[in-house]
Amino acid sequence: MRPLEGITVVTLEHAIAAPFATRQLADLGARVIKVERPGVGDFARGYDERVRGLASHFVWINRSKESLALDIKHPEALDALKRLIADEADVVIQNLAPGAAARLGLSYESLSANKPGIIVCDISGYGDNGPYRDKKAYDLLIQSESGFLSVTGTEDEPCKAGPSIADIAAGMYAYTNILAALMDRQKTGRGQHLDISMLESLTEWTSYPLYYAFDGAAPPPRTGASHATIYPYGPFPAGDGKTVMFGLQNEREWSAFCDTVLLQPALSEEARFASNSRRSAGREELRQIIVDAFSSLTAEQVVERLDAANIANAQVNDMQAVWDHPQLKARNRWRQVETSAGAVPALLPPGSWKTGEPRMDPVPALGEHSAAILAQLGYTAEQVAEFKSTGVI
């Protein structure tokens, strides 16, 4: 039995943040009912067509859910949604426009009045109050607002993170807070209102640069794929034109690097490189020493020396290399997940399950479960047919 079996989540979600949180809950066995607009659905369904005609984002974060297509602007649809929450829901999650859920009567205050154990999680760009409450917020905008962009990229230009890191951060904090709220409810019988802000989530993840710039100090510089404050730590070219990624963390590793990799043991004793702060300050000079030492070596030979010195290193993989990664294959981390376009591979969620695997059920088609869910709530086949004809579902 999976940990969250018996828990039902009703979610008014779109894009990434809320769907990412609810997919984690579904992985753990929760029943997740995804409420979508008829005919259109979650707008992430239309981001691209890269997975056999389906959107890459949507396939990634919407497996194991049930799709209920409801036009909640229609009174009968809203009544059905409230009945679903009253009868079935342990958790309600939403990342609609600011204030939209409250106007529909779906706030924690409204729902908990009749169901004290309900957990309501609101995910937004800036939170439920404050001067920014009503501002629209997308992932890249929060990367900018949180200061993340200011420390990411090159000296000449800031760069966004490749994945939707602000959405993912908010989704993970929603997920962990919901788990904590479920544990608290076991003790107290009471639900919770969870107010998850993308800005606060990504600012938390950016707290090391914040503290580095504490009390008016200069922030970490943008250094591309190199670490901003630890050196050497990043990509370096080998003599065959390939790139090797490696990093040092302490003085023992610096000494081993000079001795075994650079074959320049005396370098570790030089005052100009006698600490990480000095190496970071003198990174241009040190980089040239490393590049010169690597110029007569292939990337494979550099890695052999790094391994011999027990220096952490990695390949600079592209996406195809990750699909074929030998470590993921050796650990049997790939599974098949069904979609309306056929089965596709999916990475097993991180973690080790000795008593059974996480749930990895199909990615739902829009409205695939509408009739069954409404029937469960007591609506007759005739009523469901009428709902279809009038656009309720």
User: If you count them, how many residues does the chain have?
Assistant: 393
Q: Which of 42, 122, 139, 167 is catalytic?
A: 167
Which amino acid would we find at residue 105? Answer: G
Beta-bridged to residue 11, according to DSSP, are 34, 93
Give yes or no for a contact between 44 and 366, defined as CB atoms under 8 angstroms apart: no
The tokens for 302 are 């550099």
Neighbours of 185 (CB within 10 A): 18
The whole-angstrom separation of Cα 268 and Cα 252 is 10
What is the sign, positive or negative, of the torsion defined by CA atoms of 130, 134, 135, 139?
positive
Neighbours of 41 (CB within 10 A): 21
Pairing of strands 31-36, 8-12: parallel
Distance, C-alpha 254 to centroid of its chain: 34
The alpha carbon torsion through 54, 59, 64, 68 (nearest 10 deg) reads: -50
The whole-angstrom separation of Cα 109 and Cα 107 is 5
Active site residue 215: no
Catalytic residues: 167
